[in-house]
Amino acid sequence: MEPLRVFSDHVEILDQRQLPQAVRYFNAHRASDVVEAIRTLAVRGAPAIGIAGLYGLWLEARYLAEAGESGFMDKLLVAAQQLRHVRPTAVNLSWAIDRALGRLTPGPADEVVTRLRDMADTLRQEEEERNARMAQLGAQLLPNRDSRVLTHCNTGSLATVGVGTALGVIREGYRQGRVAMVWVDETRPLLQGSRLTAWELLQDQIPATLITDSMAAGLMQQGQVDAVFVGADRIALNGDTANKVGTYGLAVLAQYHRIPFYVVAPVSTIDEHIASGQDIPIEERQADEVRLIRGVPIAPEGMAVKNPAFDVTPYALISAIITDRGVVYPPFDQKLRQLLEEDRHA
């Protein structure tokens, strides 16, 4: 199931808010359509929103070129800023937009349109290849032939455009006979685990059991978890990692129970401009995402709510970071800088 289907004149976006009950795509023709899709989590997942953002820039360039309006580049840059800022935590979105703009050379509008489409197609291919490499590298870390692994949120094909990051490792581990089953955190409040990860694993016929987020601790205490694999939205140079809220708690539990805790993310998720996790912007989302489920109240109306979409796991709680350029063990600083340098010159 692809989060995006790309055509010559539009992009179809899978509305992930309606999964697993309904598989519905809607058409995006302009950047504003993609901004709204990312803002509402119709499309979500760090790599997927980076790719969606770049296709959104291509759509806007295409529209402006066809309209023949004056101020083509100025209007395109406005759209780029709107796309770049729609969700602050995942670095992939701003990284994709900034890299594309940095590689654009001034020229006729139709040439800009073609360049942006080529860059979006290339990024999509790059992410698919990065996912495949991480899956192979990560599967080698699975502690034994019948590991019971726990994962949080959704890091599969719906969050990327390939096999996934953490879920890609789990898929490959299962294929190699190294994974016996998967504990799937439901992942409150938006339930990316119960709605999306559970759905992907059932599609793959990989044994999986859905749990509430609060059950992970007891399962670890009972010796039911052999490893934890999670994704990332932004990794600081010291290895501190922002990921879906609830990840930090899992990392603390894993360390207490001496369970390996792995982050799986492409090098494009490492932010060279951020030294430590305290500088990673954490997206605060609206209260009703906690107070309601599918419009049904589960809390008193008007109840005060705190709804950070992510939290930051300190590098000291991370056993290894599995990237598309290799597995990095602590201390992370120098090695992450080296990976960024390799990626820059690839």
Ligand X SMILES: CSC[C@H]1O[C@H](OP(=O)(O)O)[C@H](O)[C@@H]1O
- Residue 224: CB minimum distance to ligand X, A: 22
47 scored as a contact of ligand X (CB under 6 A): yes
Nearer to ligand X, 148 or 244 (CB): 244
Evaluate whether 197 touches 167 at the Cβ level (below 8 Å): yes
Phi-psi region of 110 (alpha: psi -120 to 50; beta: other; left: phi over 0): alpha
| Closest to 165 measured CA to CA, from 42, 84, 247 | 247
- Residue 322: CB minimum distance to ligand X, A: 12
Evaluate whether 105 touches 118 at the Cβ level (below 8 Å): no
- Residue 202: CB minimum distance to ligand X, A: 19
234 scored as a contact of ligand X (CB under 6 A): no
Which of 231, 239, 260, 277 contacts ligand X by CB under 6 A? 231
165 scored as a contact of ligand X (CB under 6 A): yes
| Closest to 57 measured CA to CA, from 32, 87, 86 | 32
147 scored as a contact of ligand X (CB under 6 A): no
- Residue 234: CB minimum distance to ligand X, A: 10
- Residue 77: CB minimum distance to ligand X, A: 25
Name which of residues 25 to 44 contact ligand X (CB under 6 A). Answer: 44
Is 309 annotated in a binding site? The answer is no
Is 198 annotated in a binding site? The answer is no
Residue 49 to residue 47: CA distance in whole angstroms? 6
Q: Residue 336: which residues within 8 A CB-CB, separation 6 or more?
A: 235, 237, 238, 239, 270, 321, 328
163 scored as a contact of ligand X (CB under 6 A): no
Is 307 annotated in a binding site? The answer is no
Both tokens of 238, joined, read 């010291």
- Residue 128: CB minimum distance to ligand X, A: 13
65 scored as a contact of ligand X (CB under 6 A): no
Binding mask of the shown chain, residues 189 to 228, with x at each position contacting ligand X by CB under 6 A: ---x------------------------------------
233 scored as a contact of ligand X (CB under 6 A): yes
Evaluate whether 182 touches 207 at the Cβ level (below 8 Å): yes
Shortest-Cβ-distance residue relative to ligand X? 231
Residue 33 a catalytic site member: no
Q: What is the DSSP letter of 16?
A: G
Residue 134 to residue 232: CA distance in whole angstroms? 13
Kind and range of the H or E element at 182?
strand 179-185
- For residue 128, give Cα distances in angstroms to 87, 93, 139, 173: 22, 16, 17, 18
Is 87 annotated in a binding site? The answer is yes
Nearer to ligand X, 4 or 153 (CB): 153
Annotated active-site residue in 226, 233, 271, 311: 233
Name which of residues 266 to 325 contact ligand X (CB under 6 A). Answer: 309
235 scored as a contact of ligand X (CB under 6 A): no
Is 335 annotated in a binding site? The answer is no
| Closest to 324 measured CA to CA, from 338, 302, 343 | 343
Phi, psi of 310 (to 5 degrees): -140, 165
Site residues for ligand X per CB under 6 A: 44-47, 153, 155, 159-160, 165, 192, 231, 233, 243-244, 309
Q: State the catalytic residues.
A: 233
Annotated binding-site ranges for substrate: 44-46, 87, 192, 243-244
